[in-house]
Structure 1
Amino acid sequence: MDIIFNSFIFVALTEMGDKTQLLAFVLASRFRKPWTIFFGIFIATILNHLLAAWAGRFVSDLIPYVYLKWILALTFIAFAIWVMIPDKDEGLNEKRKWGAFLTTVVTFFLAEMGDKTQLATVALAAKYNDLGLVTVGSTLGMMVTSGLAVFFGDKMTKKIPMKWVHALAAVFYVIFAIAIIVKG
Structure 2
Amino acid sequence: MEAFLSSTFAIAIAEIGDKTQLLAFILATRFRKPLVICLGILAATTLNHAAAAWVGQWIAEWITGDTGRYLLAASFAVVAIWMLIPDKVEKEESRFYRYGPFTATFILFFLAEIGDKTQVATVLLAAMYDNYWAVIIGTTVGMMLANVPVVMMGKLSADKLPMQWVHRFSACLFLAFATLTLTHG
Class of the TM-score when normalised by the shorter of the 2 chains: over 0.9
The alpha carbon displacement at 1:70 in A equals: 0.6
**CA–CA separation in structure 2 for the residues paired with 1:79 and 1:46:** 21
How many residue pairs were aligned?
184
Alignment TM-score, normalising by the size of structure 1: 0.96
TM-score (norm 2): 0.95
- Between the aligned partners of 2:158 and 2:60, the Cα distance in structure 1 is 38
CA distance in 2, matches of 1:164, 1:31: 31
Kindly indicate whether residue 129 of structure 2 is the aligned counterpart of residue 116 of structure 1: no
Between the aligned partners of 1:88 and 1:17, the Cα distance in structure 2 is 9
CA–CA distance in structure 1, aligned partners of residues 134 and 74 of structure 2? 23
What's the counterpart of residue 184 of structure 2?
183
Root-mean-square deviation (CA), in Å? 1.2
Q: Which residue of 2 aligns with 1:5?
A: 5
Partner of 1:126: 127
- 1:146-172, CA deviations, whole angstroms, 9 ceiling, x for partnerless residues? 112211342333431111111110111
Instruction: Please identify runs of 4+ aligned residues in structure 1 that moved more than 3 A.
Output: none
Q: Would you say the 8 A contact 2:69–2:182 is kept in 1?
A: yes
Distance 1:39 1:170, change over 3 A: same
The 5 Å alignment of 1:61-80 reads: 61-80=61-80
**Native 8 Å contact 1:56 1:129 kept in 2:** no
Unaligned runs of 5+ in 2: none
Aligned AA (1:152): M
Conserved 8 A contact 1:26-1:93? no
Identity over the aligned pairs, expressed in percent? 45
The one-letter amino acid paired with 1:154 is: K
**Cα distance in structure 1, aligned partners of 2:61 and 2:93:** 40
* Inter-CA distance 92–72: structure 2 relative to 1 (3 Å threshold): farther
